[in-house]
Amino acid sequence: MARDVQLLTKGFSPGKALGLFAKAHPEAGGIASFVGKVRPDSDVKVLELIHYDRLTLPGMERLADEVEGRWQLDGLLIHHRTGHMRPGAPIVLVAAAARHRRDAFEAVDFAMDHLKSRSWFWKREKRGDGWHWIEPREKDHEDVKRWDV
């Protein structure tokens, strides 16, 4: 299976990455993808994602191992930003190419739930009154528990 896991320090185009991924997997019966963006909320001016070299990308690779072990895929792509982002900017792109759609949908859903709650990223937001660290959301933990069987 072809895998493309990257930690990106600069802005990227999910559309372009997805186009290349589709081209690389002409054999797939379908491709499911998810793009996560900085929510254009209230007064958030900048979102900063912080990573730790020794854990973050190795953790994403381990997540890809797990996804490959659970679903029958032709290809898997995980691109995740780190650094400063503006509202509306893409943070993450996950795509799975598979013979059958159910594998592709579930693989992307699983990868996103794990990225949202168990990946090695720390986040802070710059609002009108300065920087605020973001705590994990309870909902994100509940979402990922769906897969713990």
Where along the sequence are the contacts to other proteins (CB under 8 A)?
36, 49-50, 52, 54-55, 58, 80, 91-92, 115-124, 133-137, 140
Closer to other proteins by CB, 3 or 22: give it. Answer: 3
Characterize 47-76 residue by residue with b for buried, 16 or more Cβ atoms within 10 angstroms of its Cβ, and e for exposed: bbbebeeeebbebbeebbeebeeebebbbb
Tokens of 3: 């895998």
Shortest CB 121 distance to other proteins, Å: 5
**Phi, psi for 137 (deg, rounded to 5):** -90, 140
Closer to other proteins by CB, 102 or 137: give it. Answer: 137
Shortest CB 134 distance to other proteins, Å: 5
Rounded CA separation 138/68 (Å): 27
What residues pair up with 33 in beta bridges, in sequence order? 95
Q: Do residues 120 and 49 lie in contact, with contact meaning Cβ atoms separated by under 8 Å?
A: no
Shortest CB 86 distance to other proteins, Å: 17
Shortest CB 122 distance to other proteins, Å: 4
Closer to other proteins by CB, 104 or 115: give it. Answer: 115
Closer to other proteins by CB, 2 or 50: give it. Answer: 50
Instruction: Give the β-pairing of 46-51 and 30-37.
Output: unpaired
